[in-house]
Amino acid sequence: MPYQQPVILNRTGKDTMNVDDVENPEVEVSESEFESEDEDVKLEEPSKTSIYNADGLLDKLDDISWPQNVEWIHKLSLDINQEQKVDVNDDLARELAFYTQALEGTRQAFVKFQSMQLPFLRPSDYYAEMVKSDSHMVKVKGRLLAEKRRIEEADERRKARESKKIAKEVQAQKLKERAKNKKDEIESVKKWRKQRQQSGFAGGDKDGEMGLTFEDGKSFEKSNKKRPGVAPFDRTGGKGGRGGAGKGKRGGAAGGKRKGKDFKDSKFGFGGRKGMKKQNTAETTNDFRSFNKGEFSGNKKRKRNSQLLLWKVAGWRPPVVRYDGLDLATAVSSSGLQIVE
């Protein structure tokens, strides 16, 4: 009997039989965590008073057992060899052992049924009552689906997290790139300035400016930003005040003062064509911001009961008021309204 050796879970178990066991508390403390979760505590060694009447047991077995030569089809029972000892506390191993036992049993039974030419599994078109109702199976299915969905969602979340991380890196890369570009540009401007200084401003003002503007191809692209102090119709790029007359390229020393003047010119109109101010441009025609701003603009709901709105606008109320107080007369006299029952 290799299997009989009991698993010892409770060393103090023997003492539990006799109540006066307070003499070694240390052992009890060490064992206490074992018991808190374990349901089947065992005695360490078999109690001496227990009965084992093997003859009686075998007698009873003879009494109740079926005749020896009963066919297998009546019993449908199979003994399956358990390969190795199963550790009870390892849930997975234990369940696997049960599963393999069942599977092995099924295979043997299947072979037997096959040899007896008996039906075994339910044919797919055989419908009958099942142990679990359909509504229960729907629940089971729902749970399985929910689990699947949960897993998928978790997967998606993880993917999103990872992609976010990557995107962050990409963004950082981009910013770096941009900073580098900026630096390069500044560098190139400096270089150009130095060159110009070295050549003794040979190219003159106009050339220099042209050079700057055409250095990168982007200068012709229209920016969406609103430029301060430039009228919307102004297609000269805000330089109407300066460029048009040709009188106005001054030295760097007077720049600070000139800037203010330029601004004022462009704002209040000095230079450039005045007629253009009154004309619509594409932006102004499409600009509905200032249009329809009053009480009437709003959602459809409000528009629907426009009557009410009218009252509101006009501050007008229907002149009928009901009073239920005692001093009707005073109320009437003070308000000058008529009373309706």
Partner 1 sequence: MGGKKRKHSEAEVAAPVKNDEGPPERPKRTLLGWKDKVEKEKETDSKPGFRNKEKVLVTCSRRISYRYRHLMMNMVSLLPHCKKDNKVESKESKGATLNELVELKSCSSCLFFECRKQKDLYLWMAKCPNGPSVKFLVNAVHTMEELKLTGNHLKGSRPILTFSNNFDKPHWKLLKEIIMQIFGVPKDHRKSKPYHDHVFVFSIVDDHIWFRNYQISAPHSEMDKVDRGGLDKMTLIEVGPRFCLNPIKIFGGSFGGPTLYENPFYVSPNQIRALEKRQKAGKYAKKVKAKKRRKMHELSNPLEPDEFADMWKNDD
The answer to the question of residue 124 lying near partner 1 (CB under 8 A) is: yes
List C-alpha distances in Å: 217 to 182, 220, 222, 324. 16, 7, 12, 82
The answer to the question of residue 56 lying near partner 1 (CB under 8 A) is: yes
Q: Which of residues 140-199 bind partner 1 (CB under 8 A)?
A: 140, 143-144
- Specify the residue for token string 């006299």: 333
The answer to the question of residue 67 lying near partner 1 (CB under 8 A) is: yes
Contact 229, 238 (CB under 8 A): yes
Scored b (16 or more CB within 10 A) or e, 18-38 reads eeeeeeeeeeeeeeeeeeeee
Applying CB under 8 A, among 18, 20, 23, 79 the residue interacting with partner 1 is: 79
Q: Which is nearer to partner 1, 94 or 158 (CB)?
A: 94
Candidates 35-43, 269-277, 282-290, 315-323: pick the segment binding partner 1 (CB under 8 A). 35-43
Scored b (16 or more CB within 10 A) or e, 69-90 reads eeeeeeeeeeeeeeeeebeeee
Applying CB under 8 A, among 78, 276, 331, 332 the residue interacting with partner 1 is: 78
Contact 9, 42 (CB under 8 A): yes
Candidates 116-124, 178-186, 233-241, 293-301: pick the segment binding partner 1 (CB under 8 A). 116-124
Q: What is the DSSP letter of 7?
A: P
Contact 234, 272 (CB under 8 A): yes
Q: How far apart are CA 262 and CA 248, in angstroms?
A: 10
Applying CB under 8 A, among 11, 24, 57, 165 the residue interacting with partner 1 is: 57
The answer to the question of residue 39 lying near partner 1 (CB under 8 A) is: yes
The answer to the question of residue 84 lying near partner 1 (CB under 8 A) is: no
Q: What is the DSSP letter of 338?
A: E
CB neighbourhood size of 12 (10 A): 19
Applying CB under 8 A, among 18, 20, 84, 128 the residue interacting with partner 1 is: 128
Kindly report the CA angle at 267 between 264 and 272, in degrees rounded to 5? Answer: 100
Applying CB under 8 A, among 32, 173, 284, 305 the residue interacting with partner 1 is: 32
The answer to the question of residue 74 lying near partner 1 (CB under 8 A) is: yes
The answer to the question of residue 131 lying near partner 1 (CB under 8 A) is: yes
CB of 30 to partner 1, least distance (A): 11
Applying CB under 8 A, among 11, 42, 164, 303 the residue interacting with partner 1 is: 42
DSSP character string of 267-323:
HHT-SS-SGGGGS--HHHHH--TTTT-STT-S-HHHHHTHHHHHHHHHT---SEE--
Applying CB under 8 A, among 20, 23, 66, 246 the residue interacting with partner 1 is: 66
Q: Which of residues 275-294 bind partner 1 (CB under 8 A)?
A: none
Candidates 55-63, 189-197, 301-309, 331-339: pick the segment binding partner 1 (CB under 8 A). 55-63
Applying CB under 8 A, among 24, 70, 249, 267 the residue interacting with partner 1 is: 70
Candidates 13-21, 162-170, 275-283, 321-329: pick the segment binding partner 1 (CB under 8 A). 13-21
Q: Which is nearer to partner 1, 44 or 205 (CB)?
A: 44
